Amino acid sequence: MRASGAGNGGTYRALGAAGATAAVAGGWAVGTLPAHDPWGLWVPHGTAVTAVGHALAYGGLTVLVVAWWLYGRTGAGVRESLVTLGWWAAPFVVAPPLYSADVYSYIAQGAMVLEGHDVYEVGPSVLDPAGQGGDAAASVGGHWTDTPAPYGPFFLVLARGVVEATGGTIVPAVLAMRLIALAALALIAWALPHLAREHGRSPAAALWLGALNPLLLMHVAGGLHNDGLMIGLMLVGVVLALRGRWISGSVLVGLAMMVKSPAAVALLFIAVLVGRAATGGPVRRVAKGLSGPGAVAGTVVVLMTLLSGTGFGWLATQGVAGRIHTALSVSSDLGLGIGELVRLLAGTDPDPVKTAVQNLGLAAGVALILLLAWRAAAGRLEAVHGLGLGLVALVALSPMVQPWYLLWGTAVLAATAAGGKLRDVLVVLSAALVYETQPSGSTPPYGFVLAALACVAGVLLLRRESAARPGGRVPAQRRPADDVVEPDTVTAQRKAVTPSGE
């Protein structure tokens, strides 16, 4: 099925909004509902309502994915795409948590900070069931009940503020966390067009893949994952660094690191930008690149940790997520398989083998990031494009992989990657991975079947479109006249990175 042009943009906008509304309506019955809601709004229903809820949730999700796919082929401009983003995000404002119980962990950890518990030593189970965070703690996923927080102090301060403002009551606390998620979405939507212009790409195409992406809408606007805030702060920081304001950019990346640590990868590539713009010999440029942004972000990290009062325990909890096996992690699956084989052959404990394979995978990811940074420093690769590739590599080789982790690199590559196989892969994976998790947050086997079917459908559609176009190429999105970036403008923008910073 092919879009007939920009005139269909309004039709697909309305279609996507209808899909999002249906998905949210279904979520009121089958979303990640709390264990106890004193307001009686987000509570389980009977079998018939639950069946209707599943139909609405999956049907609405599919309509949204189809509308997104078609909208990307209309050639809509930036203004139209931002309006569409507003239409598609609006239904999620009043939705219960979807696809994940992580928001309950956030609220419970905010209550723990407020009550003086060490969130980096104990889990939400220490909270009084009758206290401010009691309902949230009771709703936390089983893996996380006794798990210390892996998040940075900046995010925990925000979560504490939510609990202070709402008293920890489930519905208003979740809605307040959603305001943070929507603010993150706004940061992403602001940064993507600017980042795309810096690289001579279509800003509208960047918005389509990076912000209108159903995976982002479902897991940031719907699931309230703090990955959205990390991505938003990181992208804005990179935009500022590209424009020569690397001090402000490093501050924002430092804050992003204080949400989730993978944002530190962006700091390395900002260092590459600063080093390449510095004067002097290679040693001086490397020293300038590494020391400047590192000192700024390091200062932010230390000050944020001290001011939050949570302590430096976050340094020791960055690996806690790796203890949970996720089927999307290649290194964990491979390690588990090899470990079980060793157990059968030698009768030894398979866990050390699995851990060793996971560590090797993570080391390979770090090595790839360093290689990309080296190539960027040598001028063989755009630094920001290298950042996107590095984040994708880190996710692919991490010991724990969740569907929304793909957004780390996709948000960057949406603005730097030209149309081609890489972009096609990101599009297909984004459309497929939304099916991997149930609205209730569980991961049933049929979720992987649905994701596989979506991958097959996406590949077939891309091949059909490619065969139907002259030259066999499928543009990522038609670029409207107002989105064209002249080469001279791009060159001038890239020269804006100065060694003196701000």
Residue, of 222 and 3, whose pLDDT is higher? 222
For range 44-50, the mean pLDDT: 93
pLDDT at 487 over 50: no
Q: Which two tokens stand for residue 359?
A: 């560590």
Assess contact for 359 and 427: CB atoms under 8 A: no
Query: Looking at the predicted structure, is the pLDDT value of residue 495 above 50?
Result: no
Q: At what angle do helices 246-257 and 227-242 cross, to 10 degrees?
A: 170
Residues sharing a CB contact under 8 Å with residue 156, sequence separation 6 or more, in sequence order: 109, 110, 113, 119, 149, 308, 310
Give Cα 129 distance to the centre of its chain: 31
Sign of CA dihedral 466, 472, 476, 480: negative
Greater model confidence, 477 or 256: 256
- Contact in structure between 101 and 32 (CB atoms under 8 Å): yes
Half-sphere CA count of 25, side-chain side, radius 13 A: 13
Where does 31-128 have alpha helices with state H?
47-71, 78-89, 102-115
What pLDDT sits at residue 75? 87
pLDDT band at 430; cut points 50, 70, 90? very high
What CA–CA distance (Å, rounded) separates 477 from 198?
Answer: 18
- Cβ neighbours for 90, distance < 8 A, ≥ 6 positions apart: 17, 20
Higher-scoring residue by pLDDT: 263, 320 = 263
* Local structure of residue 328 (DSSP, 8 states): T
Among 477, 430, 442, smallest CA distance to 220 is for 430
pLDDT of residue 342: 87
pLDDT tens digits, one per residue of 8-31: 889 999 999 999 999 999 999 999
pLDDT over 90, % of the chain: 77
pLDDT value at residue 494: 47
DSSP state of 486: -
Both tokens of residue 485?
Answer: 């970036």
Q: What is the DSSP string of 181-230?
A: HHHHHHHHHHHHHHHHHHTT--HHHHHHHHTS-HHHIIIIIIT--THHHH
What per-residue confidence (pLDDT) applies to 357?
92
| Helix (H) or strand (E) segment spanning residue 387 | helix 383-396
Q: Quick count: other Cβ atoms within 10 Å of Cβ 411?
A: 28
Residues in the chain: 502
| 406-418 average pLDDT score | 95
The distance of Cα 243 from the centroid of its chain, to the nearest Å, equals: 24
Sign of CA dihedral 35, 41, 44, 50: negative
Residue 439 has pLDDT above 50, yes or no: yes
Confidence of residue 492 (pLDDT cuts 50, 70, 90): very low
Mean pLDDT for 283-300 is 83
Instruction: State the pLDDT at residue 9.
Output: 84
| Whether residue 499 has pLDDT greater than 50 | no
Which amino acid, 203?
P
Mean pLDDT across the chain: 90
pLDDT at position 283 is 63
The predicted model gives 334-357 an average pLDDT of: 88
Confidence of residue 346 (pLDDT cuts 50, 70, 90): confident
User: Mean pLDDT across the stretch 447-471?
Assistant: 89
Between residues 497 and 489, which one has the greater pLDDT? Answer: 497
Q: What is the pLDDT of residue 491?
A: 41
Reported as a single tens digit per residue, the pLDDT across 89-103 is: 999 999 999 999 999
**Residue 275: its pLDDT value, please?**
87
pLDDT tens profile 206-215: 999 999 999 9
Q: Which residues contact 189 (CB under 8 A, 6 or more apart)?
A: 82, 85, 207, 211
For residue 3, what pLDDT is reported? 42
Report the alpha-carbon distance of residue 461 to residue 456 in Å, rounded: 9
Going by pLDDT thresholds of 50, 70 and 90, the confidence category of residue 128 is very high
pLDDT score at 138: 95
Structure tokens at 439: 């609205």
In angstroms, rounded to a whole number, what is the distance separating the alpha carbons of residues 322 and 304?
25
Confidence tier at 471 by pLDDT (50, 70, 90): low
Tokens of 282: 């290679």
Show the tokens assigned to 307. 């001011």
Distance, CA of 474 to CA of 290 (rounded, Å): 40
Percent share of the chain, pLDDT over 70: 90
- Could you report the per-residue pLDDT of 152-210, keeping only the tens digit for each? 999 999 999 999 999 999 999 999 999 999 999 999 999 999 999 999 999 999 999 99
pLDDT of residue 225: 97
204 close to 480: Cβ distance less than 8 angstroms: yes
Supply the pLDDT for residue 489: 41
Q: What is the CA radius of gyration of the chain?
A: 23
- Sign of the C-alpha dihedral computed for residues 205, 207, 211 and 214 taken in this order: negative
pLDDT in tens, 294-336: 999 999 999 999 999 999 999 988 877 667 778 899 999 999 9
- Give 352-369 pLDDT, tens digit per residue: 888 899 999 999 999 999
Q: What is the structure's pLDDT at 282?
A: 64
Q: Is 360 exposed, middle or buried (0-12, 13-18, 19+ CB in 10 A)?
A: middle
Average pLDDT over residues 337-356: 88
Own/partner contacts of 376-382, CB < 8 Å, gap of 24 or more, are: 376/269, 376/272, 377/272, 377/275, 377/276, 377/286, 377/289, 379/276, 382/199, 382/416
Which amino acid is present at 90? A
Please write the tens of the pLDDT for every residue from 224-254: 999 999 999 999 999 999 999 999 999 999 9
